[in-house]
Amino acid sequence: MMTMGWADGSSFVPIASSLLSSKNDQNVIGTTKKIDKRTIAAKRRIMARSKGTDVVIQLLDQALKAGLTAKYVMFDTWFSNPHQIVQISQRGLNVIAMVKKSSKITYEFEGKRMNVKQIFNSCKKRRGRSRYLLSVPV
């Protein structure tokens, strides 16, 4: 189950959710009889078989269309790829996320394209001052 919610640091209020399944018919449990694609059940089945990263954008669009507002979207490394971050930024929202440690993905940091390891090495962390490895805007 993927749940999108509103949080203020101490509270979490669920806003929307989606059950995720598999695209592979052999891994789907239950009947897959044909149903009218205009129904909410059909729309939910289609969403359940979509990629999780696409479902995040769909849930976010539903929340924005319903009139909910936010300044930031926060998520873990599973969703933190440049394409996802750009899609959310195009909706006028900022992203707070842990990024994947990958030498193939680069971010713009201080005017240069760098991967996460290069960014981490270029920043001096003061020992004992922070519980986090590093927090910088990219």
Q: Is residue 62 part of a domain?
A: yes
Q: Is residue 79 part of a domain?
A: no
pLDDT score, position 61 = 92
CA distances from 30 to 24, 35, 37, 38 (A): 13, 14, 18, 20
What average pLDDT does range 29-57 have in this prediction?
78
pTM exceeds cut of 0.75: no
Q: Is residue 75 part of a domain?
A: no
The number of distinct structural domains making up the chain is 1
Q: Is residue 38 part of a domain?
A: yes
> Pairing between strand 72-75 and 2-7?
unpaired
pLDDT score, position 87 = 92
Q: Is residue 96 part of a domain?
A: no
Q: Is residue 127 part of a domain?
A: no
Q: What does the pLDDT look like over 87-130, one tens digit per residue?
A: 999 999 999 988 888 888 888 888 999 988 888 888 876 666 66
User: 87, 31, 14, 115: which is closest to 2 by C-alpha?
Assistant: 14
Q: Is residue 120 part of a domain?
A: no
Domain of 37 in residue numbering reads as 2-70
Tokens of 73: 């979207």
Q: Is residue 51 part of a domain?
A: yes
pLDDT score, position 92 = 92
pLDDT score, position 102 = 83
